[in-house]
Amino acid sequence: MNFSEIGKVIELLGKDRGIKKEIVVGAIEQAFLVTARKKFGIQGEYEARYNEDDGEIEIFQYKNVVDAVKDPIVEINYNSAKELDEDCEVGDQLGIKIEDPRFSRVDIQTAKQIIFQKVRDAEREILFSEFKHREGDLVTGIVRRYERGNVILDLGKADAILTRKEIIYGETFKPGDRVQAYLSEVVMTNRGPEIRLSRTSPMFLVKLFEIEVPEIQDGTIEIKAAAREPGHRAKIAVFTSDRDIDPVGACVGMKGSRVQNIVNELQGEKIDIV
């Protein structure tokens, strides 16, 4: 059974979606194994193999070699088996290639559905793993739309959700706006990974200071605590063991430049640094 496009599909999925070749091949083999069982009967033992050299899906049926056949679905007599494999013995299990499975259009459609589902599952796992490792980071996305008051952001490879309660009071966004947020959590749902963002979390404030203040990034200054009333006021406690550095002054910056950048990002939120 030859599908000239299967090799191209495997290559395309690997390049465009980052799905490993063995995952796609496994999905194809599993799909046609299920299809073979439906067509030939679940009593038999089958195996589907993808032949990379010629792009062929090969279906094998395994039968036990016996002297006298009682069940032709799972058994083959010794003389017939010797014609296929002269080294076989009674008690062996012989894999017999089904030369022309004659899959119908319905069979093929069933196989395609299984393949697509397996590929979608693989994509979801890839996205979940990739963004799970980024929990606790700042991310920037482009506003795509509103759904029931929640903002959906495009992060490039996946969409993320900024729920109404995670938006600073008074903030409004329109499609195309670039929005920065704290990646608080990634959870797997029935629809795939859900990437949850926040602009109200105290950790959003902490991460903004880490970006603006190099001394925090390199560990010279440590943030001990942070608290917020999003959109109104915030408080952050900083500490350093270096006597030559004023931690509060470093966070404020020359003429207040560092803290002002953060205030602007937080829609005018007043920040007290101690």
The DSSP secondary structure of 17-66, one letter per residue, reads: H---HHHHHHHHHHHHHHHHHHHH-TTSEEEEEEETTTTEEEEEEEEEEE
pLDDT, the chain, mean: 88
Which tens digit of pLDDT belongs to each residue from 241-266? 999 999 999 999 998 999 999 999 99
Residues 161 and 247 in one domain: no
The answer to whether residue 100 scores a pLDDT higher than 90 is no
pLDDT of residue 6: 65
Range of the domain at 151: 135-198
Which tens digit of pLDDT belongs to each residue from 58-98? 889 898 999 888 888 888 888 888 888 888 888 898 888 88
Which tens digit of pLDDT belongs to each residue from 143-155? 999 998 899 999 9
- Structure-block tokens of residue 181: 């947020």
Residue that is last in its domain, among 179, 198, 217:
198
* Burial per residue of 113-150, b for 16 or more beta-carbon CB atoms within 10 angstroms, e otherwise: ebbeebbeebbbebbbeebeeeeeebbebebeeeeeee
Residue 255 within a domain:
yes
Mean pLDDT of 187-207: 94
The residues, any chain, with a CB within 8 Å of residue 8's CB and separated by 6 or more, are: none
**Angle of the 257-265 helix axis to the 202-212 helix axis, nearest 10:** 140
Please give the tally of structural domains in the chain.
3
